[in-house]
Structure 1
Amino acid sequence: MKVALVDYDSGNLHSAQKALQLMGRETGAAIEVTSDPDIVRKADRIVLPGDGAFPACRKALDAVEGMPEALAEAVLTRGVPFLGICVGMQMLATTGHEYRETPGLGWIAGQVVAIDAPGLKVPHMGWNDLVIDHPHPVLEGVATGDHAYFVHGWQFRTTDPAHRLAHVDYGGQVSAVVGRDNIIGTQFHPEKSQAIGLRLIANFLRWKP
């Protein structure tokens, strides 16, 4: 099984690569960091990381010639399992509103808006307790109360509540995991979330939507 970790100069590739390779040894998955759309198009699993601002990440993704089209062909047409991490998850939305209105991929309807948490520090940074909203194969063995590591000032509000699989409380309910069909995304960093994050990654590598 070949897993494409998409390199578009906008993600913490080293940590994600190490975590994927660790779990890949258990699941028989070969991890390839790539900016080649042809490799992404033919992959058996795709992981899209993302750090920084939504508009910058979207611009960087679009700047890799053929990459948005390769992602759409693999994920939407072929049904390849897809994992978005942090801003890689946020770009699944219809629109991002950070700095300026920016179109997302539109794979999961919703808006990326600022976290409104009076009295709390923003960005939301550090460990927080997950609340599972809907069971999902990629969340098997992950329970309400488990800790995950977050670094973000913007949140994904899904149009359909069924697409929010988990949340955390931070001045209100903030999406932690979103998903539909063969697509899933985590606002937190599974590669930095110790045992829970590694469990989620292993589940993703075994997942057969």
Structure 2
Amino acid sequence: MLRDFTVKMPEGGEKGYVSIHKEGLAHAAWLSVYGKDEQQRRLAADFVEYILQRAEKAGDDVYEKATKIIEEGKTRDSLKLEGFEKKVEVDGKTYVVKVIGGEAVEEERGGRKLLRIKITAEVSRVEGEHIVDRVMREYTITFGRYGDRNETAGFAVARADAPGGREADAERFSALIKALTGKEPRVYRMKNGAIIIMCGREHLDGFRSFVELADAIARWLEETRR
């Protein structure tokens, strides 16, 4: 928790300060709803309210960013994958996503800590009033930290052996990710025919809304921070 704050001690007559990182604010927001007792929830809520007041004084952009972080924090660990169902639109087509279950698993490869998110779901396309092309399989997205800025990115590959081939699989994969996180992934078509689905930190934050994934994601983010 201490890593969620930055402290600058007073020097040369200047004032010091304590700043809270994004993750710390999101966690405080989560505690304001899911804290272990009334006292902890009240203290966290008071702290969040104080941060919002300071953010409001700093300007609209700062206030909007703080509000977004707080809202995301409050929704963490609030949903269940099992039985989750949602209708979404991808590339002008409507899909129905029904989740069977899922998990997040940490592993190491080549000295890099990775996080695999595995979701078993049925993804179906809607035509008019009918549901067609029902496909159920396990979808896997592998997250890692990359570059000088240690940025979070997740990758998956559309399967050529899936019903309808890579293009159809990529659309179903995108529908699943959008249903669970509220945001479509980026899709890249390679010269060799491969289709890569790419997620960012915003998608990982969306996955944290689900109780089956939240703890493993939080642990991995902490372990891979610089």
Q: Scaled by the length of structure 1, what TM-score is found?
A: 0.32
Identify, as 1 or 2, the structure richer in strand.
Answer: 2
TM-score with structure 2 length normalisation? 0.30
